[in-house]
Every structure is written in C-alpha cells, then in structure tokens.
Amino acid sequence: MRQTENILERIAKQGIVLGDGGYLIELERRGWVDSGWGSEKVGTGKGCGQFTPEVAIENPEALRQLHREFLNAGSEVLQALTFFGTREKLNRAGYGGQTEAINDAAVRIAREVAGNKALVAGSVSRTQLFEREGRSAANHVRDLITEQVRLLADAGVDFLILETFFHLEEMLIAIECSRASKLPILATMTFRPTLTQCSDGHSPSDCARKMVDAGAAIVGVNCEQEPDRILAITREMRKAVSVPIAAQPSAFRTTDAVPCFTKLPQFPDEMESIQLPRNAFERFAEKAHEEGIQFLGGCCGCNAAYIHAFARGLAATTETAQRNVS
C-alpha cells in the first residue's frame, strides 16, 4: 500500500522524520553480503568493490528481517536495498543480468514490511565510475542512473534517496536523472577524505546550494563520519539553504587525521574495534532539532539498536518541548 502523505508533508507536519539504518554492512556481518575482501585487492580501483545488493533475490528473508527490525525500532522510512544497484556495478560483481530483478525485489520486500506504517524510499548511490574513470564517465553514469531510477519508479517507491556520492558532478547528474520520475528527491553527499570539501572540491554549503538548485527537495550528508563529526557539515549546509537538512551518520569512530571510516586501516575487517556506542546516536537525536536537521537516519554500522537510540533521543526532546509549552 502506498502512503498518501509524502515525505515533505510528513516533515512539515512532524518537524523531524526518522529513517532507518545501514543495510549492507549489517547484512555483511550477518553473512549475507560479500565485502569483496576475500576475492580482490580492495582499493586498487580494479576490483569490483563488491557490497552489492543481490541478497534481495538470493536471501530475501534476511533482508526482510532487517527491514522488520528497523520498523520495530521506530523507522518511519524504509530504504529499499538498491544501493550499488546500477547495472555496471552489478555486472562487475556478476549480477548485471539480474539488475531488474534485484531492484524490483528490493522495493517489493521493503513495501511488504512497510505496509501502511512507513514510507519506502529507493536508494540510488554513486556508480563508482567517477572514482574509477574520471569525468569522462559522465554520459555512461547518466545512462546507468536513468535506468535505475526508472526501475525504482516502476516498482513504486514513494521517494528517492540519492546517497554516498563523493563527486558533486555525479550527484548533479543523478538529480537530473531523478527529476524525470517526479518523485521527491532527498540528496546527501559524502565527504571523503576531508570534511571541508567533497572529492571534486566543493564545500558543504556549495554542495547544498547546487543540489537544491538542481531539484533536490531535501539535502544533507551521509556515511563516513560519526554524529559529532558530521555536524560540522550539516551546520554549513543549514546556513546555505532553507530546505530540510538530512543527516545519516555512520557508527564508526574516526580520527582528526582520517575523518572517514573507509580510509581507516580497520575497514572492512576490524570495524568492531571502532564501533561507536549507540548512546552517541541518542545524544545526536536530542540535538537534531536545534541543529535544523529534519531527516535523521543511520548509515554504515547502524543496526536497529541505533535507530531505537535515535527514537529515544527524539522522544526526549519532544517531551521537553511539551513540558516547556505546558
């Protein structure tokens, strides 16, 4: 069942909407997603860099269960697991022929669990081609994302989350491709290796302005940093634009020297040693309102316990607000 209220109406009504957590890392920990670590030399730019979403067709029950856990913890949005679901990325992992089936199944499973309790978002990520091939990949990227957006819209998502883009240029292509669907667009950049510039040299405020100008209805940042560090980015964005700001931090402790977990030596096989406690997310939720964040979710390393912590933090601020009024 599709929700009649869209994400923007829900944000306007509630002030803050709670999303879900990270799927691929959690499902990798549970044994259902391949990190690619055992089969290729990661970081060379030559391998697949796996973390692809074929679990949607190979082990749908594992995916269904994680959706259920997020919903039960308080998520008001479930993201279909279509991250890294463009045809070329799936092809590198050996699943290109199942591009339609994977995207379709992922949306269907999210919708089944969401019922009338949560919105369903289609996830569109960077293709990795800007990192692998440079700007000459732009036309190929446009074709790949156009295809995936069409698959997600046909499968019936309520809105699109464009996330984990390192290059603003690729993000702007993705927004342009997404506008054809007429669905609301939530667009979040990821900052690596610094907090002050994305990979093609744009500041957080510049990214926010350009994403809004291109047609995103909600903009923000996701992945790579823990809540305290990601705030530096959302504050810049908040000052630059008037649309709702989204924040989906990861749950790994990074350092001043390396403020992104995928560049730390612990990635991907020692991340338990840099896992952040969930109460950091409760505190972040308590601050979200005053920081002007209106869409709150978790990225890599966030399972249902972290979403539950978010929900507790949001409930605490609501109670405080109500007490102040009464």
**Which residues contribute to the site for Zn ion (CB under 5 A)?**
223, 299-300
Q: Which is nearer to Zn ion, 121 or 299 (CB)?
A: 299
Q: Which is nearer to Zn ion, 264 or 299 (CB)?
A: 299
Instruction: Tell me how far, at minimum, the Cβ of 28 lies from Zn ion, in Å.
Output: 12
Instruction: Tell me how far, at minimum, the Cβ of 211 lies from Zn ion, in Å.
Output: 18
Instruction: Tell me how far, at minimum, the Cβ of 67 lies from Zn ion, in Å.
Output: 17
Instruction: Tell me how far, at minimum, the Cβ of 124 lies from Zn ion, in Å.
Output: 14
| Three-point CA angle 58, 59, 65, nearest 5° | 155
Residues 221/189, Cβ–Cβ less than 8 Å: yes
Give the C-alpha separation, 151 to 128, whole Å.
19
Q: Which is nearer to Zn ion, 145 or 299 (CB)?
A: 299
Instruction: Tell me how far, at minimum, the Cβ of 163 lies from Zn ion, in Å.
Output: 8
Q: Of 249, 35, 228, 270, which Cα lies nearest the Cα of 163?
A: 249
Taking residue 253's Cβ as centre, other Cβ atoms within 10 Å add up to 20
Taking residue 4's Cβ as centre, other Cβ atoms within 10 Å add up to 8
Please give the torsion angle defined by the CA atoms of residues 286, 287, 288 and 289, in that order, rounded to the nearest 10 degrees. 90
Q: Which is nearer to Zn ion, 24 or 237 (CB)?
A: 24
Q: Which is nearer to Zn ion, 95 or 166 (CB)?
A: 166
Using the 8-state DSSP alphabet, how is residue 203 labeled? -
Instruction: Tell me how far, at minimum, the Cβ of 115 lies from Zn ion, in Å.
Output: 26
Is the peptide bond prior to 268 cis by the omega test (within 30 degrees of 0)? yes
Show the tokens assigned to 200: 């093609």
Q: Which is nearer to Zn ion, 158 or 226 (CB)?
A: 226
Residues 300/275, Cβ–Cβ less than 8 Å: no
Q: Distance between alpha carbon 85 and the CA centroid of its chain, in Å? A: 13
